[in-house]
Amino acid sequence: MRIFYPYTIFAAMKRLLHPIMFAGTGSDVGKSIIAAGFCRIFKQDGYQPAPFKAQNMALNSFATPDGFEIGRAQAVQAEAAGIPCHTDMNPLLLKPQSDHTSQVVLNGKPIGNRHAYDYFRKEGREELRQAVCEAYDRLASRYNPIVLEGAGSISEINLRDSDLVNLPMAMHAGADVILVGDIDRGGVFASVYGSIALLRPEERKLIKGIIINKFRGDLRLFESGVKMLEDLCQVPVLGVVPYYKDIYIDEEDSVALATKSMQAEQGKVNVAVVLLRHLSNFTDFNVLERDPRVHLFYTNNTEDIQKADIIILPGSKSTIDDLYELRRNGVAQAIIRAHREGATILGICGGYQMMGVEVLDPDHVEGTIERLPGLGLLPISTSMTGEKVTRQDHFHLAVSSEDAGLMQGYEIHMGETKPVQDAPLSPLNIFTDGHPDGYFVDAKCMGTYIHGILDNPPFIDFLLQPWKDKIVNCQSSIVNGQSFKEEQYDKLAAHIRQYVDMDKVYQILTTP
C-alpha cells in the first residue's frame, strides 16, 4: 500500500534537518522505541537517518556486519532506518558484570573491566568524550538527520560533569532535544517539570518539545494536563503516545521477563528459558515466543523447569558466575533430571558452555574460579579467553535429514569450546566457510554459539519436531523474520505519526 504524506512534510525535505535527541525523565520511559520510530519516519519521508547513542549500558548487544559489538537498541534503530549498523552509532557500550563492575566496549572492542566508581570519575573522561564525539562527527558526515538517544535521566546532577551521553552530547551535536516522560509509572508532571527545572539555563534552551509516552485510557482526559505542562515548563507538548500491545519491537531491557511466568498450556509445547542473573541477548526468544505452537516462559524455579518440554539455557555475560548459581540453587540438578525424563535441552552461547563437562578460566578472565564442573550434558570443555568473538554468521544445519536452507545469526562470546578426550566431532551447524558450530548429541540435547538461531523458522521446526504429537490444531504462522520486522517498524511509525505533531517536529528541526 502506498502511503501519502502531507505537503508540509515534503516542503521540509528541501533542507537538511537538525540532529534530534530523545532524552528521558528516567530509565525505561521508552526513549529507544521512540527513537526507532522516528528513524523509520525520517526514512519514509525521504531522508537518510542514522541512530546514535554515545554510551549505552546493556547486556543485550549485537554484532555489526564488520564484526564489532554495539548495543542492541542501536542495531534495531539502524534497521528501522534501513541502514547497516556500525560502531559509530554506539561507540561506548558498558556490559554489567556485577553490581559494581562492567566490561567497557569502545568502538566495538572490549578494553577491559572497570569499577563504576572509577569509570564515572572525572579523570580520563575527556579521552572517552573525544572518542564518542569523533564517532558522532563521522556519522553526521554520512547521514541526516542523526537521531540521538539519551540515557537514563537528563537531570542526574551529581553526574553532570562526567556525563557523555545526554545534554553535553546534544550540545556537541547541536541537537534539538525532545524530553520523553512515562505517564504509565505515575508522577509525570513532577518528573517532566523537575527534569527541566534542574537544568542549567543554557541546557534548558536545548529542550524544544515534550512527548508523553505510554498513556492508557481516553486521551481527552489528559487535554488539560497538556496545557498545564506547557504552562509549567514553557515547552510545547508535541504529543501523547498511547501504550500499545500489538507492535513488536526488540526491547533493550529485560525487566519484564520474570512476569512471563509458568502456566502450562495443553496442546502447545511448553518452553522454559532459564532466568539467569546475567542473562544476555534475551531477544533470541522473541520469534519463538510468537510461534502459536509454543508457550514460552522465563523461570529459575525448579518446579517450573520440571513442567517444561523444552528447556533453553540462554546467553550469559558471566558464564561461570551463573553456572555456580545454578549449581547452588538446585536449577542445574533440575535441568539434568528433566532431560533424563525426556525434556529437550538447548544451550545458546553461555548456556552452551554450561552444558559441557567443565568451564575453565585459568587466566581469571571472568573471576577467581579457575574450574567449575558443567552440567555434563555435552561432551565438551570450554576455556575462557580474553579475546571476544563478534561476527555475523550464515550457516546450515549439519544434522537434519531435510534441507533447511541457509540461515543467519551472530556470535558474541569469549571462550573456546572443544570436544573432550575421545568425543567425536558432532557439530549442530556448519558455517558457509566450512567451520563447525556447536555440539549435537541428539534431537533433545544440543548447543550452539549462534545468537538469533531461533529467528530462523526452519530451526524452530527442527527444535519442535520431537514434540509434534503434542501440538493440537496449531500450525506455524511465522513469516519471514525480516519481513515481519519491517512491518512492525512501519506500524510503529504510523502509531507515532497519529499521536505526535510531525509538522511541529519538522518546524523545530528546520528553524535556524
Question: What pLDDT is recorded for position 117?
Answer: 57
Could you give the 3-state DSSP secondary structure of residue 208?
strand
At 135, give phi and psi (nearest 5°): -65, -45
CATH 3.40.50.880 domain range(s) in the chain: 267-471
Local structure of residue 32 (DSSP, 8 states): H
Contact criterion met (CB below 8 Å) for 251 and 286 = no
CATH dotted code for 267-471: 3.40.50.880
pLDDT tops 90 at residue 58: no
Calculate the alpha carbon distances from 16 to 43, 146, 361 in Å: 13, 11, 52
- Give the contacts of 126 (CB within 8 A, at least 6 positions apart): none
The per-residue pLDDT for 257 is 58
Length of the chain: 512
Cell numbers 504524506: residue: 5
Segments of the chain assigned to CATH 3.40.50.300 = 7-54+77-84+129-249+486-507
pLDDT of the residue at 471:
85
- The count of other CB atoms within 10 Å of the CB of residue 57 is 17
Q: Residue 7 pLDDT more than 50?
A: no
Segment 333-339 mean pLDDT: 97
E strands, 226-289, where?
Answer: 237-242, 269-274, 279-280
> Which residue's C-alpha cell is 542501536?
74
Can you read off the three cell numbers belonging to residue 125? 573522561
Between vectors from CA 494 to CA 46 and to CA 154, what angle results, nearest 5°? 85
CA atoms of 265 and 273, how far apart (whole Å): 16
Q: Among 39, 85, 233, 349, which one carries the catalytic annotation?
A: 349
Rounded mean pLDDT of 325-348?
96
| Mean pLDDT score, 220-247 | 94
Q: Which helix (H) or strand (E) holds 339?
A: helix 331-340
The pLDDT, as a whole number, for residue 111 is 85
The per-residue pLDDT for 472 is 78
Is 349 a catalytic site residue? yes
Compute the mean pLDDT over every residue in the chain, rounded to the nearest whole number. Answer: 90
* Total-model pTM: 0.85
Distance of alpha carbon 240 from alpha carbon 221, whole angstroms: 11
Cell digits of residue 384: 575462557
Residues of the chain by 3-state class (helix, strand, coil), percent to 5: 35, 30, 35
CATH of 7-54+77-84+129-249+486-507, one of 3.40.920.10, 2.40.240.20, 3.60.15.10, 3.40.50.300: 3.40.50.300
Q: Do 74 and 108 touch, CB atoms closer than 8 A?
A: no
How do strand 371-373 and strand 380-397 relate by DSSP bridges?
A: unpaired
pLDDT digits (tens, 9 = 90+) for 127-144: 889 999 999 999 999 999
pLDDT at 261 exceeding the cut of 60? no
pLDDT at 250: 81
Digit-coded pLDDT (tens) for 388-437: 899 999 999 998 767 778 999 999 999 999 999 889 999 999 999 999 99
Q: Supply angle C-alpha 259, 498, 146, rounded to 5.
A: 85
Pick the closest to residue 280 from 305, 327, 310, 313 (CA basis): 313
Higher per-residue pLDDT: 5 or 70? 70
Give me 304's grid cell. Answer: 517450573
* pLDDT of 494 higher than 70: yes
In degrees and rounded to multiples of 5, residue 346 shows phi and psi of: -125, 130
Q: Would you state the pLDDT for residue 90? A: 97
Question: Does residue 361 contact residue 367 with C-beta atoms inside 8 Å?
Answer: yes
Q: Helix crossing, 319-329 with 331-340: angle to 10°?
A: 80
Asked if 406 and 393 count as a contact pair (C-beta separation under 8 A), the reply is no
Checking if the pLDDT of 482 tops 90, the result is no
Question: Secondary structure of 94-116 in the HEC alphabet?
Answer: EEECCCCEEEEEECCEEEEEEEH
Cell numbers placing 158: 551529581
pLDDT at 21: 98
What pLDDT does residue 114 have?
A: 76
Tell me which amino acid residue 200 is. R
DSSP-assigned states of every residue in 121-190: SSTTHHHHHHHHHHHHHHHHTT-BSEEEE--SBTT-GGGGGG--SSHHHHHHHTPEEEEEEESTTS-HHH
Active site residue: 18, 278, 339, 451, which one? 451
> What is the structure's pLDDT at 260?
57
Strands 101-106 and 439-442: unpaired
Residue type for 374, please?
G
Q: Which pLDDT does position 214 carry in this prediction?
A: 94
Nearest to 451 by CA among 250, 259, 290, 265: 250
Q: Which amino acid is at 214?
A: K
Q: Render pLDDT for 20-40 as a digit per residue (tens, 0 to 9).
A: 999 999 999 999 999 999 999
Percent of the chain surpassing pLDDT 70:
90
Q: What is the average per-residue pLDDT within 374-385?
A: 96
Average confidence (pLDDT) over 347-355: 97
Averaged pLDDT, 71-87:
96
Phi, psi of 36 (to 5 degrees): -60, -40
Q: Is 451 a catalytic residue?
A: yes
Grid cell at residue 482:
525480516
pLDDT bracket for residue 258 (50, 70, 90): low
pLDDT at 119 over 70: no
To 10 degrees, the CA torsion angle through 405, 407, 413, 419? -10
Task: Find out whether the peptide bond into 419 is cis, omega within 30 degrees of 0.
Answer: no
Q: Does 307 score more than 80 pLDDT? A: yes
The answer for residues whose C-beta is within 8 angstroms of residue 254's C-beta and 6 or more apart is: 59, 60, 279, 282
Angle at CA of residue 390, ends 388 and 394, nearest 5°: 140
Using a pLDDT cut of 90, give the percent of the chain over it.
74
Helix (H) or strand (E) holding 338: helix 331-340
At what angle are helices 72-81 and 31-44 packed, to 10 degrees?
Answer: 20
Sign of CA dihedral 423, 424, 429, 433: positive
Q: Which residue has the higher pLDDT, 118 or 95?
A: 95
